[in-house]
Structure 1
Amino acid sequence: MKILVTGAAGFIGFHLSKKLLEKGHDVIGLDNINDYYDVNLKYARLNELGVSKEDAEKWSVKAESEVYQSKFYFVRMNLEDRENLPQLFKDEEFDVVCNLGAQAGVRYSIENPETYIDSNVVGFLNILEGCRHNKVKHLLYASSSSVYGESKEEIFSVTDTVDHPISLYAATKKSNELMAFTYSHLYGFATTGLRFFTVYGPWGRPDMALFLFTKAITENRSIKVFNNGDMSRDFTYIDDIINGIEIVLDNPPVGNVPYRLTNIGNGEPESLLDFINAIEGSLRMEGKKEFLPMQPGDVPRTSADTSELEKLGYKSSTGIKTGVKHFIDWYKEFYKV
């Protein structure tokens, strides 16, 4: 198939592009390479896919990779670009779109709300319109466990009511789910929303806890432990996430309204302090801990009900000790620690 992957220079988008290419699909990766975190990491991911920094810096120009037998092109573009994005859809005639591009980060959305509306709402509308007008068979898009807000449920299910987001980031992701349903209902193309639960692993985001903690500990700085450590997360290793996306890709929703919403998580939450212990164990270093109150927009716990995805064959199989070790091995090599 020919597949568009937005956010291709991002953490999940990079891993997905790599996997799709290895399986023989033709992939066009799209990203605006914004400076929300270190752009050099984004350029390094693209370099792994065979696209040089020099080529990746060119706006709205297809840069071709020669690393894979299947074709990979990279295009630097904003999702909210109402001129060039529709033209890209028209020119390429994608079979499937995987929209992983978005402005990420719960806390950052409190400081920079406009960026989230531009990328996550206006940009997502442009993606939906591109799919509608160009006969795309299936749209997969990134939602988030953040939509559950301060849910009191023991396990988060897609059937839960999620009408009270506590960050603008979560509100934009909830809006994506509503918009996708509307387009599936009106125009009949398949959409699948993927509620990701705390994804981690090699090439991960520098604003995430694993990256922040590892960097601080190796630099002999204290780590910030919010809510005094009384937090738990459904930490999900990147390989399990990509496996879940592949399963959804191979099983598009059907019916009068071909719409699906699913959690992709580990299904077994771990306490934040156990996660820190796994980092310390892999590094063989003990971190200095600074215990702090809860941050605005954050939640104390997440726990994914993955039963619907498991019916399609999904199973998260990577424990935190193994996953954390893989990340730290990569971190040491990449940053020459």
Structure 2
Amino acid sequence: MPNNRFPKLHILSSSPHTLTFELSETDVSVANTLRRMLIADVPTLAIDLVSVHENTTCLLDEYLSHRLGMIPLRYYDDTANRYGDPSKEFREPRDCTCEDGCPKCWVTFTLGVQFSDKTDNPNTKTVSITSADLKSSNSNVSPASFLSEEEEENAQEEGISLVKLARGQHLYLEARARLGCSKEHAKWCPVAVATYRFIPEITLNTPALSKLTLKQREELVECCPDQILKIDDVTGQIILAEDYEDKATFTEDLHYLQESMKGSPEDDNFITVKQSESRFVFTVESTGCMHPVEITRSAMRRMEEKLIMLKGECAGINEGV
């Protein structure tokens, strides 16, 4: 029977839209499951139904509906005082007890703009309709138009551009957003990036390295483009770079160079680089709909729920047997 593992998570860096953490004391199956959960199983809000009342713009109703659906929506959690998990406040319509939709399962956005509302400058030929023109029925739900204040200050538009209006054109529509997961459609995906990489394990064969000339040791250091090795200024021996875990890639150049330096093919390697089987570094970048810490927490909750459900199903099978 395999030994029980107790995975650990250590945050390396965190910002409002990017999270980097190390997952350790587990294996690649758990790491990949967490990655898939981050991408496909975290519930978010997205526009799902659009009713276009009047549209005299250059885009068809279907194009506008698609653009509206891809706008990330964020939910402001008053208790946490930041943009958080909307599943704490909303339910999916199929899980709600209402019949025609209610504030607990739908959020309504209205958009009504005509050219004259945007400008009174007679020299202006076109104006932009953006996500900033959407009016939400819930004050805690709004479009994630910008990832940061700096981006907002440098932006040329007020939000995510939807369509341009020429003089005399107008657009009136109503859009309804609901909770969902990206395994149903990509518009509910909370992350732009959710990847992990293996922590490298580097072993130096000090007795064998000491038999090499200084020039050979320098060649070994220089053949690694990621600069994971360096020459000690005092001893002249090869040592690991301080941040080798952040740099190391798994290249074949070092392997081929070592083979050419060996006295015989049976000799041990001077330097061994392999992937750790129990340590992984994750990078999670949010689309702006949720804080990356909340995305990770939500993914872990979903994983726990699925494991509990699987445990119950297995228990039921055993009782039947």
Do Structure 1 and Structure 2 share a fold, with TM-score over 0.5? Answer: no
**Which structure has the highest helix share of the two?**
1
**Which structure has the highest strand share of the two?**
2
Larger Rg: 2
Q: Which has the higher contact order (CA 8 A, sep 6+)?
A: 2
Identify the TM-score tier after normalising by the shorter chain.
under 0.3
TM-score scaled by length of structure 2: 0.19
